[in-house]
Amino acid sequence: MIKFKSPKVERWVILFIVAFAGGIITKLPYLKDIYFTTLQTATGTTKTQLGMLLSMYGIVNFILYFPGGMVADKFSPKKLIVFSCFSTALIGFWYATLPGYVSLLIIHTLFGITTVFTFWASMVKIANNLGDENEQGRIFGFLEGGRGLVGTVISLVSVYVFSRFADETLGLQGAIIFYSIALIVAGILAIIFINDPKPKVSDKIKENANKVNWSDFKEVIKIPRIWMCGLLVICNYSAVIIFGYLTPYLSEIYKVDSSTVAVLGIIRAYVLMFGGSLLAGLLADKLKSTIKFMEFGFVGMAAFSFGYLLIPVNRNMLWILVINFILQGLFLLGVKAMYFATIDEVHIPKKLAGTASGIISIVGYAPEIFLYTLVGSTLDNNPGISGYHICFYTMAALSVVGFLLAIALLAMNKRYSATHSVAVNSDAE
């Protein structure tokens, strides 16, 4: 493990490595974001079955987000991240054999363990401890932005690998193997560069106070602001899931070829994640409120969701569609970057950052359980553009609800601040 002379250099290197690992680790379970049609053909699955794979992943995630948060508070986040990278890579090599549907369900179940239970809250815990309350927007903006940048580069390389094969199935297998090797590299970098978060207090009393216990946990789940943060995530993340179906929309409705769709899918999923996250972090810090930024973000999400309904289905209008999804993506993924930056703003002590992130995740990511299957079934049962129109209306509705919830949470937080003497990192109510 390398030791740094400068704490600032150490902080940014750790943030980069965590973002590097986080930018790669979800590529395998969300392979359909780029290779939807090819994956469907290579595995012989329907849209509903592909949705079921991600629903299985979502069910496992839902069960494990919360205990994953407690595990991150109790054990070494560094060791958990290293384990996650190596184990996900091994599962990826199995995935590359393109086994039968039952095996694919098992694979996505295992992905839930290695990418969420042992990884997700550990990543949040490390990032949360890299700065104080006033830096959370910027830190999480750079974390998500870094994940987006890494995801962009890694995915572009995977598309290059994919395009080198005349047979698309072989190309898909090559892309999966590439992702798995990249995860091994991420695990090695984590071993070399990441240090576990250090307590910011030195006296024994505060050090003991920084330990998680059952009474602290019970206090956290009683905080209504945490549950409101989770509801905000539901609205945004559900829209993010639907946003992912722009990939088949481009190929089926606008008849865009597979390679171009893959590149546009990378732009949608990762380039916009990078740009939107960085802008979100900077704007949230400028506004001095991640929640206030989310208000504006939901307005933008709603406006551009309606945009899809207004753009004529004409190949000549493809460039307008692309502009619309770029602008929507900046708002959509900008809000997504702020999920866990709200933890400090709603006055949760850093010692419980992992547990708090687990609660927010189990609430906010619950749509993974059913939404992929529901959207896939909707598209199978409503062929053509009608199914996609249902999706776009749903995105708009989710955005409006998210906007109203953000207003409510901001009001709740102001009331709490006005009625409590809140010190940074003090115990929440």
Find all residues with CB under 8 Å of 6, minimum gap 6, and list them: none
Q: How many helices (H) and strands (E) does the chain have?
A: 20, 0
Cα separation, 56 vs 61, whole angstroms: 9
Given this model, what pLDDT does residue 425 score? 45
Give the residue-averaged pLDDT of 270-274. Answer: 78
Cα separation, 373 vs 56, whole angstroms: 9
Cα separation, 301 vs 150, whole angstroms: 24
Which of 198-202, 211-215, 227-231 is the least confident region?
198-202
- Structural domains in the chain, CATH included, are 7-196+216-417 (1.20.1250.20)
Give the residue-averaged pLDDT of 139-153. Answer: 84
Q: Nearest to residue 59, comparing CAs of 376, 398, 365?
A: 365
Residue 40 has pLDDT above 70, yes or no: yes
Find all residues with CB under 8 Å of 319, minimum gap 6, and list them: none
As a whole number of Å, the CA-based R_g of the chain is 21
Please answer whether residues 51 and 391 qualify as being in contact, where contact means their C-beta atoms are separated by less than 8 angstroms.
no
Residue-averaged pLDDT of the chain:
86
Integer distance in angstroms from the first to the last C-alpha of the chain? 39
Given this model, what pLDDT does residue 304 score? 95
Q: Nearest to residue 224, comparing CAs of 361, 398, 359, 119?
A: 359
* Residue of 166 and 186 predicted with greater confidence: 186
Backbone dihedral angles phi then psi of residue 389, each to the nearest 5 degrees: -65, -40
Place of tokens 């986080």: 22
pTM value is 0.73
Residue 185 has pLDDT above 90, yes or no: yes
Which of 101-110, 174-183, 331-340 is the least confident region?
331-340
- Three-class secondary structure assignment of 17-57: HHHHHHHHHCCCCCCHHHHHHHHHHHHCCCHHHHHHHHHHH
Q: Is 166 strand, coil or helix?
A: coil
Token code pair at residue 393: 């209306």
Cα separation, 313 vs 254, whole angstroms: 7
Give the residue-averaged pLDDT of 369-390. Answer: 91
Given this model, what pLDDT does residue 6 score? 72
Q: What percent of the chain has pLDDT over 70?
A: 91
Tell me the range of 316-320, 347-351, 404-408 where mean pLDDT is highest.
Answer: 404-408
User: Residues 190, 192, 193, 199: what is their CA dihedral angle, to the nearest 10 degrees?
Assistant: 90
Token code pair at residue 180: 């798995």
Token code pair at residue 11: 């902080």
Split at pLDDT 50, 70, 90, the class of 87 is: very high
Residue 423 has pLDDT above 60, yes or no: no
Residue 199 has pLDDT above 60, yes or no: no
pLDDT tens digits, 121-145: 889 888 888 877 667 777 888 887 8
Which of 11-20, 39-48, 84-93, 213-222 is the least confident region?
213-222
Cα separation, 274 vs 23, whole angstroms: 10
Split at pLDDT 50, 70, 90, the class of 281 is: confident
Find all residues with CB under 8 Å of 292, minimum gap 6, and list them: 284, 406, 410
Question: How many Cβ atoms from other residues are within 10 Å of residue 282's Cβ?
Answer: 16
Given this model, what pLDDT does residue 113 score? 95
Please answer whether residues 367 and 61 qualify as being in contact, where contact means their C-beta atoms are separated by less than 8 angstroms.
no
* Residue of 213 and 58 predicted with greater confidence: 58
Given this model, what pLDDT does residue 282 score? 85
Given this model, what pLDDT does residue 428 score? 42
Place of tokens 């890299």: 130
Place of tokens 């949360």: 128
Given this model, what pLDDT does residue 236 score? 97
Which of 222-236, 268-282, 305-319, 391-405 is the least confident region?
268-282
Question: How many Cβ atoms from other residues are within 10 Å of residue 403's Cβ?
Answer: 21
Give the residue-averaged pLDDT of 190-208. Answer: 63
